[in-house]
Chains A and B, each alone.
Chain A
Amino acid sequence: MNQPEAGKGTLKTYVTGYVLSLGLTLVAYLFAVKQFTSGWTLIYSLATLAIAQLFVQLIFFLHLGSESKPRWNLTALLFAIMVVVIVVFGSLWIMKNLSYNHSVPADQTDQQIIHDEGLQPSKY
Chain B
Amino acid sequence: MSHISTARQAELHAADAKTVFGFWVYLMTDCVLFASLFATFVVLRNNTFGGPAGNELFSLSFVLTETLVLLTSSFTAGLGMLAARRHDRRQVLLWFGITMLLGLFFLTMEVTEFHKLAVEGNSWRRSGFLSAFFTLVGTHGLHITCGLIWMITMLIKTSRHQITSRTIKQFTMLSLFWHFLDIIWIFIFTIVYLIGVAT
Taking beta carbons and an 8 Å cutoff, which residues of A are in contact with B?
A: 2, 8-11, 14-15, 17-18, 21-22, 25, 28-29, 31-33, 35, 38-39, 42-43, 46-47, 49-50, 53-54, 57-58, 61-62, 72-73, 76-77, 79-81, 83-84, 87-88, 91-92, 95
Contacts and interface: CB of A to CB of B under 8 A. Distances in A.
A51 B51 CA distance: 31
Interface residues of B, number: 43
B82 A32 contact: no
B43 A21 contact: no
Q: Say what secondary structure dominates the interface of chain A.
A: helix
A120 B102 CA distance: 62
B194 A62 contact: no
B82 A9 contact: yes
B94 interface: no
Nearest to A81: B31
Classify the secondary structure of B's interface with A.
Answer: helix
5 contacts: A25-B67, A42-B199, A50-B191, A84-B32, A88-B38
Contact of A14 (B25, B31, B78, B180): B78
Would you list the 9 A-B pairs with minimal beta carbon distance, nearest first? A80-B28, A91-B39, A14-B78, A84-B35, A50-B190, A32-B194, A32-B198, A18-B75, A61-B179
Contact of B86 (A2, A14, A77): A2
Nearest to A60: B78
B85 A8 contact: yes
A10 B82 contact: yes
A87 B39 contact: yes
B152 to A, nearest CB: 22
B82 A57 contact: no
Contact of A22 (B71, B183, B187, B197): B71
B14 interface: no
Contacts of B39: 87-88, 91-92
Contact of A39 (B25, B75, B79, B199): B199
A101 B176 CA distance: 44
Given A18-B75, A50-B187, A91-B39, A2 B194 contact: no
B102 to A, nearest CB: 13
